[in-house]
Amino acid sequence: MKNLHISLYFIFIVTATIILLNRYTDFLLTDYRVHFFFLFFAASSFVIIVGHIFKKLRTTKSIILTFVIVGILCFIKAFFTWVGDWKTQTVLYQNIADKNKTVNVQMRADKFSFGYKKRVIAIYNIAPFMQWTTDIDTTTIDQSKWERVNLDLNEMNLPSENY
pLDDT in tens, 76-118: 988 888 777 888 899 999 999 999 999 999 988 876 777 888 8
CB 102 within 8 A of CB 123: yes
pLDDT of residue 44: 95
State the pTM of this model. Answer: 0.79
Confirm if 132 and 138 have CB atoms less than 8 A apart.
no
